[in-house]
Amino acid sequence: MTLHDVSPRGSRLTEESIRSVVRQAANLVGHRPPPDAHYDSDGIVCGDGAIEAYRVECARRSLEELERRGWRPGHRVQEAMRADAFGVGAGAFPTDFEFMDPLIRQEQRQPLSAEMLFSIDTRVPLGARTHGVRRRLGSGEAQIYRGGNEISRAQGTYLRESWGIAYVVCSTEVNFFDLASTDFAQLNEAQDDLADAYRFVDERVNRLYWYGDVGSNLYGVLTHPAIPKVVISTAYTDATDVDDVVASVFDFTQKPMVTSVGVFAGDTLALSPRLYSFFHSPRFTSGAPGLSIAQMLLNTSPTVKRIVMAPELAGAGPNGEECMLLFRSDAESLALVQVQATTQMPVFQSGPFDQTTVVFAATGGVRALNAGNNLLGIVTTSA
């Protein structure tokens, strides 16, 4: 066996020594020039990782030859090897002195708030292609009878609204031999992949609940055309007078009741994380020293009964503004149409050694029949 010496043996690094190493590397790894390769006066310019492959090969052969000659590394070299300090291809020994925590941490993901905040309507059966509602609009009036047969009449007309249904799917594939390897390594790869598929379906369904999908004829909370929207003129910043902020918030939460003359009113205020923190930070005002905006609102509002946080409202405005949503907690005002909760289909054999599992859910988006109980506010949080 021949050891390939790529060092300049203490001499200065020269252009000729570099070219020599490049030629040896190209010959060793069987380099073939690609169609778009370029040449210099000495031939093909070496590429495609040939130098790195040559270095790895030299390191491997060197270690083999040293071991054949009976060489044993000193304790410092052993420590370096056990810590995997050598470069790629130089070889390493098992980290015998390292404790490995057996628990594999899972990635922390953003909470999905739609199903936690809003009512869920499960009446639409699986298999329906669309779902709809009918509205009856009555007309007429009563009169004071003053004789005769001319009496006013009451009559009604009907309107029909219809929306689509979307199927959200994700799958996992398990290879028999890969499964044997992961089981040997005591990794729950198949179970973790299935859990990820469930999570990905839930994330997509949650996104549909908030943003809808035009192609599927689905409305979302933030895109529903019947839910009114308003831009808050007061900037919610520390520089803004607290009394002005409180007055703005109170005006926003009472707007549905005032404009509808008592017909509509929201009872829950959902805030983006930034606004939620802003609303709960202690403030000082002439009317309520030491209270937060949230406490002032809950103590004085005749309609709002709770304040919650929704991460999906962060940057949800048309220009990346923070948002807050006033809504009423009943199915007629705002409801998620859940046709099929996330579930998995039977496992099927997709190949001689492969099995595929499909996870799916079906949703009809968001339905807001009494949309006047809801109001979406777009807030400026910078001066």
Task: Reply yes or no on whether the pLDDT at 84 is more than 80.
Answer: no
Return the structure tokens found at 33.
């020039």
**By C-alpha distance, which of 229, 232, 215, 233 is closest to 371?**
229
> Could you tell me if residue 234 is inside a domain?
yes
- pLDDT, greater one: 290 or 212: 212
Rg (CA), the chain: 34
Distance CA 312, CA 324 (A): 10
Provide the 3-class DSSP secondary structure of residue 34. coil
Cβ-proximal residues to 21 (8 Å cutoff; 6+ apart), any chain: 6, 51, 54
DSSP 169-234: EEEEEEEHHHHHHHHHTT--HHHHHHHHHHHHHHHHHHHHHHH-BTTTTB--TTT-TTS-EEE--S
Of the three residues 97, 112, 138, the one that is the final residue of a domain is 97
Structural domain boundaries enclosing 93: 25-97
pLDDT for 322: 95
pLDDT for 216: 94
- pLDDT, greater one: 279 or 80: 279
Question: Do 225 and 301 sit in the same domain of this protein?
Answer: yes
pLDDT for 8: 42
Question: Do 246 and 353 sit in the same domain of this protein?
Answer: yes
Task: Reply yes or no on whether the pLDDT at 180 is more than 90.
Answer: no
Residue whose pair of structure tokens reads 């050891």 in the numeric block: 3
Question: Do 78 and 210 sit in the same domain of this protein?
Answer: no
Distance CA 108, CA 105 (A): 9
Contact 273, 311 (CB under 8 A): yes
> Could you tell me if residue 111 is inside a domain?
no
Residue whose pair of structure tokens reads 């009317």 in the numeric block: 287
Give the model confidence (pLDDT) of 105-125 as tens digits: 888 888 899 999 999 999 999
Mean pLDDT of all residues in 64-85: 60
Question: Do 184 and 305 sit in the same domain of this protein?
Answer: yes
> Could you tell me if residue 87 is inside a domain?
yes
Residue whose pair of structure tokens reads 């799958």 in the numeric block: 171
> Could you tell me if residue 127 is inside a domain?
no
Distance CA 377, CA 62 (A): 70
Mean pLDDT of all residues in 43-48: 51
Residue 167's H or E segment, with its range, is strand 166-175
Question: Do 81 and 175 sit in the same domain of this protein?
Answer: no
Question: Do 250 and 355 sit in the same domain of this protein?
Answer: yes
Question: Do 206 and 339 sit in the same domain of this protein?
Answer: yes
> Could you tell me if residue 145 is inside a domain?
no
Q: Give how far Cα 210 sits from Cα of 116, 149, 213, 310, 343, Å.
A: 13, 55, 10, 11, 21
Catalogue the E-assigned strands of 42-201: 43-44, 119-121, 130-139, 155-164, 166-175
Of the three residues 45, 63, 97, the one that is the final residue of a domain is 97
Task: Reply yes or no on whether the pLDDT at 88 is more than 70.
Answer: no
pLDDT for 184: 75
Classify strands 335-344 and 130-139 as parallel, antiparallel or unpaired.
unpaired
Return the structure tokens found at 97.
């002195």
Question: Do 92 and 170 sit in the same domain of this protein?
Answer: no
pLDDT for 11: 47
**By C-alpha distance, which of 246, 196, 252 is closest to 374?**
252
**By C-alpha distance, which of 205, 219, 221 is closest to 325?**
221
pLDDT for 3: 44
- Hey, what amino acid is at 219? Y
- What CATH number corresponds to the domain at position 251? 3.30.2320.10
Give the model confidence (pLDDT) of 142-177 as tens digits: 999 888 888 889 999 999 999 999 999 999 998 888
Distance CA 153, CA 139 (A): 9
State the total domains in the chain: 2
- pLDDT, greater one: 250 or 5: 250
**By C-alpha distance, which of 57, 37, 59 is closest to 47?**
37
Most trustworthy range by pLDDT among 27-36, 37-46, 205-214: 205-214
Which of 50-64, 202-216, 319-333, 336-350 shows the lowest per-residue confidence on average (mean pLDDT)? Answer: 50-64
Question: Do 201 and 320 sit in the same domain of this protein?
Answer: yes
- Hey, what amino acid is at 289? P
> Could you tell me if residue 260 is inside a domain?
yes
Question: Do 173 and 279 sit in the same domain of this protein?
Answer: yes
> Could you tell me if residue 215 is inside a domain?
yes
pLDDT for 57: 72
Of the three residues 65, 82, 97, the one that is the final residue of a domain is 97
Question: Do 228 and 357 sit in the same domain of this protein?
Answer: yes
> Could you tell me if residue 149 is inside a domain?
no
Question: Do 179 and 52 sit in the same domain of this protein?
Answer: no
Average pLDDT, the chain: 82
Contact 90, 62 (CB under 8 A): no
